[in-house]
Amino acid sequence: MDRRKFLYVLGGTLTSTIVGFISGCAKKSTQYYFNPYVAKNLDSPELVHCFTAIGHKRGTKPFILGGTCVCTPTEELLKAYHADGFLRNYNLRRLVAEYENRGIVLAHENGWQCNNQCKQGPHIVFGGSCMVSPTIGTQNFENVATGKMPRV
């Protein structure tokens, strides 16, 4: 191999090595799980499920009977169901018995807020057996209210 050909090969090799090194070692941009420059939507999401912490949404029937209401049964709630034309032949004992027969937990001892992380969880709307209202201000609260399936 003559000297001129050797210098061409050496120059090409060095050039490609330097370009590869510079492009491979470039600083990678910070990864965000959200776009930090987009303002959060100020419109509240549509509520799909009502529960005790939010209050009963008129016109909804109990979740276990095909509705979207997961409020803890009370006399006041039963009157609201009756006013909406649902469960006219039910009294409070019968409604609570429906939940108990299906193994659904309505409340924990001493009012413990499990945020649906108890052994009966997740929340009933996500296929669990816990119907305790989620803790206010948590992602679970928003997920249950909007019906948005949590990412695992």
pLDDT of residue 2: 77
Work out the percent of the chain whose per-residue pLDDT is above 90. Answer: 40
Mean pLDDT over residues 86-113, rounded? 90
> pLDDT per residue over 41-99, tens digit each?
677 778 899 998 889 999 999 999 999 999 999 999 999 999 999 999 999 999 999 99
| Residue 18: pLDDT over 80 | no
Residue 80 makes CB contacts below 8 A (sequence gap 6+) with 56, 58
**Structure letter (DSSP) for residue 40:** P
Closest CA to 80 of 62, 97, 98, 53: 62
| Residue 23: pLDDT over 90 | no
Please provide the average confidence, as pLDDT, over all residues in the chain: 83
pLDDT of residue 33: 54
